[in-house]
Amino acid sequence: MMTLAQAGYPAAMGGATLGHYLVVSAILFTLGLIGFLTRRNLIIMFLCTELMFQASGLALIAFGRYHMSFTGQTFVIFVLTVAAAEAAMALALVVLLFRRRESLDAEAWQDMKG
Amino acid sequence: MLTAIGTMVTAAEPEGGGSHWTLTMIVVLPLVSFVLCGLCAAFKVKSKLPAWITVASLAAAFVFTLMAFMNAGPMIAAAGAEHGAEHAAASAEHAGHLTVHVFDWLNFDWGGGKSSSGRFDADFGFYIDGLTLLWMLFVTGLGTLIALYASEYMAHDVGLGYCRFFAAFSLFVLSMSCLVMASNLLMLFFGWEGVGLCSYLLIGYFYKKPAAVAAAKKAFIVNRIGDLGLLMGILGVYAAFGTVQYDKVFEFIHKGVDAGGHPLTTSSWIPVILPLLLTAGAFGKSAQLFFYVWLPDAMEGPTPVSALIHAATMVTAGVFLIARMMPLYTIDPAHTILTFVAWGGTITAFWAATIGMAHFDIKRVMGYSTASQLGYMFAGLGVMNSAGGAAHVFSHAFFKATLFLACGAVMHGFAGQLDLRKLSGVRKLPGWKIVAAAMFFGALNLSGVTFTAGFWSKDLILASSFEQSPAIGWILLITAGLTAYYTFRAYFRVFEGPVYFEPGDEVHGHDEHEDHAGHGHDGHGEESHAHDGHAQGHGHGGEFHPHAPGWAINTVLATLVVGCFAIIPLVGFAEHGAWVGKMVGASSAAMHGGEEGHGTFLGMNPHSVMYYVSSVVGLLGIAAAWWLHLAGRTSAAHANADKLEPALGPIVTWARHKWYVDEFYDAVIRIPLKFLSNIFYLLDQYLVDGLVNLTGFVPKGLGRLIRPSQSGELHGYALGMAGGLAVLILIVLMVAR
């Protein structure tokens, strides 16, 4: 990963190189993943997925800038739009799930197994 | 002759549309009747309407047959005269005929003129010659009379059953007409299967009675075996001659070549295998040799059906087939298959007669007698006397129909009672004179008493048999004695002697028994099953009044008796079967008498002495029946014959059990078949189904294997995804390295 970052970074990016952005993105993603795996509260788990989402968005923008292409940014803008709608729906789902079980615990839905 | 008739036909055809129309009507009328009876059933007609429709249509068909006969008269007379004149000469003249094309039926051609191209033509058309007209006259004539009889006989079943009966009856006459008038073998086969179907439907008419259903199935299945032979024979004829149209086939045979131009006599299969296959079909339909077992059981059907289908007409289809295809049988100079036919008929005649002697059910006796008499007809064909065979078909149709209908009247009047040990002196009851007279005159004919029609036709066969093969002659002569014995045994037991009767186990809705009418109507079979032989189980309280036959039954019986006498000049008093002989002479069954046999009857010419010999034999049989079954008999159940039984030992029991033939067939065919079918069932159950289930089991097992991964724990899934991601990253890194 470092070799990729050192291959040549534009001066316009200031002090931060592609590598820095990717590290931040990886940290965000890992935090989200750990949170998703360890917490049982549906809302927290949902927030963790959002965190992972933003990590990938950050990586996309960093790569887009690195390649001097707008594709990455355009893509992220679309993703954010969709993610907003999806967040609204997901929260609505969580509310419904809560109403059914009077609990936000993911374990409460274990009987949905195949 | 052939060319002469050919020109006559072609010349007559353009303006001969009238006769064409007449012939078509013979087939159309029963069809109309069938459709109307079906409509009666659909509209739930509760009257005797279907019977009158059937009687009217069949009577009209008979009139049209007569018209066709009148139209063809000159042709028949010319050909017959020619045949008579040339009888002694060994000329293979083909007799006069008329081929009528009605419409193209099954006509194909393929290959479009290339080397592999071919044609198959089967018109819906008529081949009219003496044989056709002879058969059609008694099919439609007797059909009309028996339909009239059935209008009264089936009266207990007015309603749906009545419609069903007459629809099947009409369909039978339609099929039989197609069979007889067909211009080609395929149309014959169509009619052949049609009569088989109607036979099945009518035997199983009392479908609630298990015995009737079993008998219907037996008849159908036994016939299938023979029909396989017939179908193969028809295909063989097509393979040999490239056509199944009679006129073309006969032309090839007349020329002595097959379709490829090779001489027939050197062919390895045409002279022997082809007729043998056709014989299998004929023997199946006519209940000969191994196939006879279905006919006695077919007596489960209503008696008019037994009279029309299983005595007078359908069972003679086998005789008709062989007579029609006689040119094919005579290709072989050694007459191998004709000899086989003669022996098959002879053995059946004797065999069935011995069973008929021991049976107590008079209708079964008549059934065995039919198989036996059919044996005579086949023997007649086999010993090169097709005129004799056809004459016996003709006279048998009349007298056996009379006998059956008389038995049916008894059955109708005594609530299904047919056991000759439980009926006696019926003649002396009021209202039974005509039935008794019909039975008596029918029995005289069947016994071959001098000057009856049965006597003349049987004599033709007996004399020719002695001429060709004295062994066949002697067996048939002995059988004639046995026939006279069992016929008069039935007559003497049932109609003569002290008056006694027990009712059978069937209740008809008679006027005297209004209280039973309700459940007696459609429960014919059910009733007899439910009470299972307990005559007193109906609440008669022993008060049973026999039900004397009404006007329809009496009229038909009287007409048939008159008919039995009226046909005497048609079959008798002449060397070669009189009028019937002439009709047969003017047909494809004409025997050209190439070689006269050299057999003799004890050194005398069989044709001149047989009249006396067979008269004596017949009278001996009657005398034996009189001594054993009438003389000094004081009860219905016992007669002098009982005293004779211990002396004969187990033979009587064996004969009474039909020589255990059914049991033998059970052991040899049915049980092995059942065993095999059980094995196949197990194979199907475990091997075939196992394989099918196995293919279903594979995805099922796989699913069971991975189902635990769907634990329902969200974190488990997440971990799995994370793990998968980790593995993917590892792989990417390793590949990139």
User: What's the confidence (pLDDT) of residue B511?
Assistant: 37
Q: Specify whether the CB–CB gap between B299 and B305 falls below 8 A.
A: no
φ, ψ for residue A7, nearest 5 deg: -60, -15
User: What's the confidence (pLDDT) of residue B113?
Assistant: 64
**CA distance to partner chain A, nearest, from residue B727 (Å):** 15
Q: Distance (Å, rounded) from C-alpha B654 to C-alpha B642?
A: 15
Q: Do A112 and B712 touch (CB under 8 A)?
A: yes
Kindly report the pTM of this predicted structure.
0.77
Q: Measured in Å, how far apart are chain B's first and last C-alpha atoms? A: 106
Q: Distance (Å, rounded) from C-alpha B239 to C-alpha B244?
A: 9
CATH architecture of A16-109: Orthogonal Bundle (1.10)
Distance of CA B231 to CAs B122, B238, B277, B289, B357, Å? 14, 11, 8, 19, 36
3-state secondary structure of B106: strand
Report yes or no: A43 at the B interface, CB cutoff 8 Å: no
Report yes or no: A37 at the B interface, CB cutoff 8 Å: yes
Q: Do A45 and B714 touch (CB under 8 A)?
A: yes
Name the token pair of B64.
């049209």
Q: Specify whether the CB–CB gap between B408 and B303 falls below 8 A.
A: yes
Shortest CA distance from B703: residue in chain A: A114
Report yes or no: B268 at the A interface, CB cutoff 8 Å: no
| Beta strands at B118-128 and B98-110: parallel, antiparallel or unpaired | antiparallel
Shortest CA distance from B715: residue in chain A: A37
Report yes or no: A36 at the B interface, CB cutoff 8 Å: yes
Report yes or no: B737 at the A interface, CB cutoff 8 Å: no
Q: Distance (Å, rounded) from C-alpha B567 to C-alpha B89?
A: 29
**Range with the lowest mean pLDDT among A62-66, A97-101, B1-5, B584-588?**
B1-5
Q: Which residues of A touch B713 (CB under 8 A)?
A: 106-107, 110, 113
Q: Do A106 and B714 touch (CB under 8 A)?
A: yes
Cα-Cα-Cα-Cα torsion B511, B516, B521, B525, nearest 10 degrees, comes to -130
Give per-10-residue mean pLDDT for chain B (737 aa).
38 47 90 94 90 94 91 66 43 61 85 72 88 92 94 88 93 95 93 94 91 92 92 93 90 86 83 92 92 90 91 92 91 88 94 90 92 94 87 93 92 87 88 92 91 89 88 93 93 90 66 37 39 39 75 92 91 78 83 62 79 90 90 82 80 82 87 94 92 90 86 84 92 89
User: What's the confidence (pLDDT) of residue B19?
Assistant: 59
Angle between helices B185-203 and B317-324 (to 10 degrees): 170
B435-446 burial by CB neighbour count: b if 16+ within 10 A, else e? bbbbbbbbbbbb
Q: Where are the domains of chain A?
A: 16-109
Report yes or no: B530 at the A interface, CB cutoff 8 Å: no
Report yes or no: A3 at the B interface, CB cutoff 8 Å: no
Q: Measured in Å, how far apart are chain A's first and last C-alpha atoms? A: 40
Q: Distance (Å, rounded) from C-alpha A85 to C-alpha B182?
A: 84
Q: Which residues of A touch B711 (CB under 8 A)?
A: 110, 113
Q: Specify whether the CB–CB gap between B54 and B37 falls below 8 A.
A: yes
Run of H or E residues at B101:
strand B98-110
ipTM: 0.79
Cα-Cα-Cα-Cα torsion A20, A24, A29, A34, nearest 10 degrees, comes to 120
Q: Specify whether the CB–CB gap between B610 and B459 falls below 8 A.
A: yes
Q: Distance (Å, rounded) from C-alpha B415 to C-alpha B504?
A: 5
Q: Of B456, B440, B301, which Cα lies nearest the Cα of B376?
A: B456
User: What's the confidence (pLDDT) of residue B376?
Assistant: 94
Range 32-71 of B in CB contact (< 8 A) with A: none
Q: Which residues of B touch A106 (CB under 8 A)?
A: 713-715
At CB < 8 A and 24+ separation, what contacts does B622-628 make? B622/B447, B622/B449, B622/B484, B622/B485, B622/B488, B624/B481, B624/B485, B625/B484, B625/B485, B625/B486, B625/B487, B625/B488, B625/B489, B625/B491, B625/B492, B626/B488, B626/B492, B628/B489
**CA distance to partner chain B, nearest, from residue A107 (Å):** 6
Range 704-723 of B in CB contact (< 8 A) with A: 707, 710-715, 718-719, 722
Q: Which residues of B touch A59 (CB under 8 A)?
A: none
Q: Which residues of B touch A113 (CB under 8 A)?
A: 710-713
